[in-house]
């Protein structure tokens, strides 16, 4: 399993106008993030979960979970993904996950509660915070694979990165800060590279000599 979380600092947590994804707290970034986490050519990565944290107006955090294994009716374009996020946001959220559409769940969890739940569930062996000045991701992944830790949860920022208080919450859960050398990328570009690194590791594992 592989999990990706993006912290949407300004992303609205109420239903929004699908004709203006950027104007709703950069919902376009989150939609691209979902697309690049999940979609391959003519298919979906069934071993990936995507989490969106929406911290913008009206200042009532919401978290959305999208399970690659169960999601249905999603296309890779931003509008299709935005439509499904919109549907989830129309549900009154509570502390618990509520199913919106197949494979898509919404809750009122904030960053701290979300990360606590994810570490308590123990689905993931480890968490990593993606930040430009971290340790090279290839060394990190090799080290984790050597320990047979295939289930990794990655935390990323949006166009604003993570704020200091958000970083503190993340670093309370993990010491792993990892980077994709050598330039600062967009969050969705990062997940493409992380998925690719896993694909290479899988291919190497499946090659017998
Ligand atoms: C567009 S970047 C954020 C840039 C923002 N101005 C900042 O300084 O944090 C979006 C997110 O992608 C991740 N990211 C971008 N480039 C990265 C890199 N080279 N290595 C690791 N993570 C990266 C980080 O999580 C970052 O918060």
| CA–CA gap between residue 150 and residue 205 (Å, rounded) | 12
Task: Give the residue, out of 55, 152, 156, with the most ligand 1 atoms within 8 A of its beta carbon, to mutate for a pocket test.
Answer: 156
Cβ of 177: how many Cβ atoms within 10 Å? 18
Domain membership of residue 208 (yes or no) is no
For position 25, which CATH number holds?
Answer: 3.40.1280.10
Report the separation in Å between the CA atom of 155 and the middle of ligand 1, taken as the mean of its atom positions.
Answer: 10
- What pLDDT shows up at residue 208? 58
- What pLDDT shows up at residue 207? 78
Nearest to 37 by CA among 103, 99, 133: 103
- What pLDDT shows up at residue 206? 80
Domain membership of residue 29 (yes or no) is yes
Domain membership of residue 131 (yes or no) is yes
Domain membership of residue 165 (yes or no) is yes
- What pLDDT shows up at residue 156? 98
| CA–CA gap between residue 147 and residue 165 (Å, rounded) | 31
pLDDT in tens, 156-192: 999 999 999 999 999 999 999 999 999 999 999 999 9
Contact indicator for 72, 118 with CB cutoff of 8 Å: no
Whether 110 shows a pLDDT value over 80: the answer reads yes
Report the separation in Å between the CA atom of 136 and the middle of ligand 1, taken as the mean of its atom positions.
Answer: 14
| CA–CA gap between residue 121 and residue 17 (Å, rounded) | 35
| CA–CA gap between residue 1 and residue 185 (Å, rounded) | 24
Query: What percent of the chain is predicted at pLDDT more than 90?
Result: 92
Band (65; pLDDT cuts 50, 70, 90) = very high
Report the separation in Å between the CA atom of 57 and the middle of ligand 1, taken as the mean of its atom positions.
Answer: 23
Q: Structural domain tally of the chain?
A: 1
Report the separation in Å between the CA atom of 156 and the middle of ligand 1, taken as the mean of its atom positions.
Answer: 7
pLDDT in tens, 23-56: 999 999 999 999 999 999 999 999 999 999 999 9
Nearest to 8 by CA among 64, 53, 61: 53
Domain membership of residue 58 (yes or no) is yes
CB distance 30 to ligand 1 below 6 Å: no
Contact indicator for 24, 16 with CB cutoff of 8 Å: yes
Q: Whose CA is nearest to atom 12 of ligand 1?
A: 187
Secondary structure, 3-state, 93-146: CCCCCEEEECCEEEECCCHHHHHHHHHHHCCCCEEEEEEEEEEEHHHHHHHHHH
Cβ of 173: how many Cβ atoms within 10 Å? 17
Q: What is the mean pLDDT of residues 137-143?
A: 96
pLDDT in tens, 81-109: 999 999 999 999 889 999 999 999 999 99
Report the separation in Å between the CA atom of 4 and the middle of ligand 1, taken as the mean of its atom positions.
Answer: 14
Report the separation in Å between the CA atom of 184 and the middle of ligand 1, taken as the mean of its atom positions.
Answer: 6
CB distance 135 to ligand 1 below 6 Å: no
| CA–CA gap between residue 191 and residue 29 (Å, rounded) | 12
Q: What is the largest CA-CA distance in the chain?
A: 57
CB distance 8 to ligand 1 below 6 Å: no
- What pLDDT shows up at residue 91? 95
User: In the predicted model, what is the mean pLDDT of the chain?
Assistant: 96
Domain membership of residue 209 (yes or no) is no
Domain extent for 90: 2-203
């Amino acid at each position: 399993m592989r999990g990706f979380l993006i912290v949407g600092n300004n992303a609205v947590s109420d239903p929004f106008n699908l004709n203006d994804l950027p104007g709703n707290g950069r919902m376009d970034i989150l939609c691209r993030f979902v697309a690049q986490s999940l979609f391959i050519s003519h298919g979906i990565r069934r071993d990936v979960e995507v989490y969106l944290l929406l911290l913008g107006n009206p200042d009532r955090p919401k978290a959305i979970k999208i399970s690659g294994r169960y999601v249905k009716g999603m296309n890779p374009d931003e509008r299709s993904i935005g439509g499904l996020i919109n549907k989830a946001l129309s549900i009154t959220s509570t502390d618990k996950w509520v199913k919106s559409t197949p494979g898509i769940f919404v809750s009122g969890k904030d960053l701290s509660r979300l990360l606590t739940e994810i570490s308590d569930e123990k689905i993931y062996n480890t968490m990593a915070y993606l930040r430009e000045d971290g340790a090279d991701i290839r060394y990190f992944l090799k080290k984790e694979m050597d320990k047979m830790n295939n289930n990794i949860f990655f935390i990323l920022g949006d166009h604003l990165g993570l704020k200091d208080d958000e970083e503190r919450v993340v670093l309370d859960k993990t010491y792993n800060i990892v980077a994709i050398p050598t330039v600062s990328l967009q969050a969705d570009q990062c997940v493409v590279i992380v998925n690719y690194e896993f694909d290479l590791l899988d291919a190497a594992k499946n090659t017998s000599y």
